[in-house]
Amino acid sequence: MAGMDEVGRLFNNNELIVAEVLQSAEAMKAAVRHLEQFMEKSDTAARGKIILATVKGDVHDIGKNLVEIILSNNGYNVVNLGIKVQPETLIEAIRKERPDMVGLSGLLVKSAQQMVITAQDFKSAGVTVPILVGGAALTKRFTDTKIAAEYTGPVFYAKDAMNGLDLANRWVDESQRPELLKKTEADRAAMVKIAEGMEKKPQGVADGRSRSNVRRDVPLPKAPDFDLHQIEEGPLREIFSFINPSMLYGKHLGLKGNLERLLAEKDERAEKLYAAVTAMQEEILAKRTLKAQGIYRYLPCRSRGEDLLIYDPADPTRLLETFTFPRQPAGERLCLSDYVRETDSGEIDSVAFFVVTLGRGVRALSQQWKEAGEYLRSHLLQAIAIEGAEGFAEWVHRKIRNDWGIPDPPETTIPEVLKNKYRGVRVSFGYPACPNMADQRKLFRLLDVTAKIDVELTDGDMMDPEASVSALVFHHPEAKYFRADT
């Protein structure tokens, strides 16, 4: 497997980008498949066995699948248990498979907390196999201070898939293992010390004012209606034009630099990637692989302190739902409720909610392509679906602004929209201004989501399928993104 080791080295040196790693893995897989018929069984023995899973409540597939592709093409026998995997299922699989390592993935902070619970369950079951953890919202600090603290065996944090491979390689190589353990333990002890110091620091001091200075007298736009608007099949080509290229090409495919500039400079790598993405999008459009489903609704509302009160459109005296948001402890002391007219104003304001998805069927098809060794296509489909869901959110948000009577100036371009150059703000539960993921349940009730479109909430309040976005839209001209915890 020296070939893929070389790929790993190049990748770590930033010489290869994700898309190229996947293509190399495809070539490698095809070559190995061909050579296997001529090889002795002992020649094909795996470097090690790794169980991989996305934790309970979490539907995140794309990151875990990248890890699977990288590991399996570097000689590991990977047992991928899929998404939303309960600790008991993992424990059963560990007993049956006797792996060298267990890999846990997850997208959200809640999933990082689920990793702690999983480690506790492992410990109670007497499991000590090393755990490798990774995911967008996970940090080394959380791993060292919260997950490792609950476990008897070693816990390794991987910042990306190649780092995960490097850690697995060092663990299975007995000559490197003692050094890896020593370093991990030393890093952990240092991290625990730093974390203790940070916990002692005051977290921000309230300055006596209870509310921000956000204006309370801006003229209110009138919601066009309070009906439930269902989008059964959104215009996919137009939605694709709202995909943020820096996310799709940069974050998911690993391209460094601005796509438009690189294409203008005729950069070969950018041109190839652009062609691959365009071809995949055309295939999706021709075969109708993705379906853009959405639901949105304006609702009457008012605010009271940190509460956002949602009323029944048929009877504005009847409270339908209350959302409570955190307020910044210092500084501007912003709270999302400040963007809405207060109860004592005598006026009724409006807010919009929506849920969009592009995810139906994506998991099954990307898995089929992955199993067939078509790694780049499998990854591209998932990446286009998840970034397409964000693009769809952008598209619906623009429609909402138009229908609310607060359209963007006619000269506004899509790149400007992607930089939030419009009136108001769109936030999603789980964002720093409204971190309570459990509020997803209230939003789902208000829009009757599950009955109308193919999206369900998991027991971790995540939306299944993965390529889904929920949001809350405020029209206030001063509304902006902020963190409520600083």
Which of 328/470 has CB closer to ligand B1M? 470
* Contacting positions for ligand B1M (CB under 6 A): 52, 59-60, 62-64, 66-67, 103-105, 107-110, 132, 134-137, 158, 160-161, 164, 247, 251-252, 386, 389-390, 428-431, 435, 462-463, 466-470
The CB density around residue 126, as the number of other CB atoms within 10 Å, is 9
Q: How far from chain centre, in Å, is Cα 287?
A: 26
CB of 133 to ligand B1M, least distance (A): 6
Q: Which residues contact 92 (CB under 8 A, 6 or more apart)?
A: none
Which of 107/335 has CB closer to ligand B1M? 107
Which of 341/379 has CB closer to ligand B1M? 379
CB of 162 to ligand B1M, least distance (A): 7
CB of 1 to ligand B1M, least distance (A): 19
CB of 165 to ligand B1M, least distance (A): 8
CB of 32 to ligand B1M, least distance (A): 22
Which of 145/468 has CB closer to ligand B1M? 468
Asked if residues 324 and 441 have their Cβ atoms less than 8 Å apart, the reply is: no
Which of 68/349 has CB closer to ligand B1M? 68
CB of 390 to ligand B1M, least distance (A): 4
Query: Cα separation of 420 and 474, whole Å?
Result: 13
Which of 8/313 has CB closer to ligand B1M? 8
Query: Cα separation of 301 and 298, whole Å?
Result: 9
Which of 52/191 has CB closer to ligand B1M? 52
Which of 249/429 has CB closer to ligand B1M? 429
CB of 224 to ligand B1M, least distance (A): 24
CB of 449 to ligand B1M, least distance (A): 12
CB of 181 to ligand B1M, least distance (A): 18
Residue 56 phi, psi (nearest 5): -45, 135
The CB density around residue 120, as the number of other CB atoms within 10 Å, is 15
CB of 463 to ligand B1M, least distance (A): 4
Which of 172/221 has CB closer to ligand B1M? 172
Which of 105/366 has CB closer to ligand B1M? 105
Which of 341/425 has CB closer to ligand B1M? 425
CB of 452 to ligand B1M, least distance (A): 17
